[in-house]
């Protein structure tokens, strides 16, 4: 019999497992055991592991770092952008670089093998880019950022560069990549 929060337990256990070990190294049995549920209960909520992966991407989009501060219109747009990237970086530093961004990890591991997950990743990257673009556009309207570059192209560049900084910080177990990202972005690119 399904319990009301069993789905959430599976999602939480799945998130912990894939962030620690990766999607392919984390099995359904391991996920359900971590959730304290029998393996068969998984199929009450998800038709496949790929469906769980897509749900994890959706969940990450709801709780992940892209939500941190970008929509707070009471803060100047440049400050929102700075705080957004600082807060996300602080999260990875606190975790001692043991995990990266779920979007980056899943993109590297799954984009070519799981169409359902790839579609979710693309949609979430698009949403995150739009959030960044919105702040850049606001900053351009107040002349805090030059209008020489298109806001959408700057947003794509920033997100791609930031995802690369996460990978490098994780590989080096150092905040250096985050510090370089912040320095270059806020003294040379968003000017």
Q: What architecture is the 60-189 domain classified under in CATH?
A: Orthogonal Bundle (1.10)
In this prediction, residue 2 has a pLDDT band, given cuts at 50, 70 and 90, of: low
Q: What is the pLDDT of residue 63?
A: 81
Helix axes 77-94, 151-172, angle to 10 degrees: 20
Residue 25 has pLDDT above 70, yes or no: yes
Q: What is the pLDDT of residue 67?
A: 64
129, 118 contact by CB (below 8 A): no
Spatial distance between the Cα atoms of 43 and 6, rounded to a whole number of angstroms = 11
In 3D, which of 117, 93, 113 has the Cα closest to residue 165? 93
Residue 190 has pLDDT above 60, yes or no: yes
**Stretch among 11-15, 70-74, 128-132, 151-155 having the lowest mean pLDDT:** 70-74
Tens of pLDDT, residues 39-73:
999 999 999 999 999 999 999 988 865 665 798 88
Spatial distance between the Cα atoms of 129 and 160, rounded to a whole number of angstroms = 9
Q: What is the pLDDT of residue 147?
A: 87
Spatial distance between the Cα atoms of 69 and 113, rounded to a whole number of angstroms = 33
Over residues 1-24, mean pLDDT: 87
As a CATH number, domain 6-46 is 1.10.10.60
59, 18 contact by CB (below 8 A): no
pLDDT cut 90: percent of the chain above it? 79
Per-residue tokens: 114: 């799981």
The count of other CB atoms within 10 Å of the CB of residue 92 is 21
Spatial distance between the Cα atoms of 15 and 104, rounded to a whole number of angstroms = 14
The count of other CB atoms within 10 Å of the CB of residue 153 is 11
Q: What is the pLDDT of residue 173?
A: 95
Helix axes 102-110, 6-21, angle to 10 degrees: 70
Q: What is the pLDDT of residue 182?
A: 98
Give the domain ranges of the chain: 6-46, 60-189
Tens of pLDDT, residues 77-106:
999 999 999 998 998 899 888 877 889 989
């Amino acid at each position: 019999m399904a319990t009301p929060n069993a789905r959430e337990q599976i999602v939480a256990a799945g998130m912990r497992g894939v962030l620690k070990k990766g999607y392919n190294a984390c099995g359904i049995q391991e996920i359900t055991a971590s959730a304290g549920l029998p393996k068969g209960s998984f199929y009450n909520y998800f038709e496949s592991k790929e469906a769980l992966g897509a749900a994890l991407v959706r969940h990450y989009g709801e709780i992940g770092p892209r939500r941190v501060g970008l929509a707070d219109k009471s803060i100047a747009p440049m400050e929102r952008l700075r705080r957004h990237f600082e807060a996300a970086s602080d999260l990875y530093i606190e975790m001692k670089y043991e995990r990266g961004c779920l979007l980056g990890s899943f993109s590297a591991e799954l984009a070519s093998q799981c169409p359902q997950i790839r579609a979710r990743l693309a949609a979430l990257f698009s949403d995150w880019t739009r959030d960044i673009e919105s702040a850049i556009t606001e900053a351009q309207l107040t002349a805090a950022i030059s209008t020489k570059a298109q806001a959408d192209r700057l947003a794509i560049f920033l997100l791609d560069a930031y995802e690369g900084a996460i990978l490098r910080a994780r590989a080096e177990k150092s905040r250096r990549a985050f510090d370089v990202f912040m320095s270059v972005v806020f003294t040379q690119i968003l000017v």
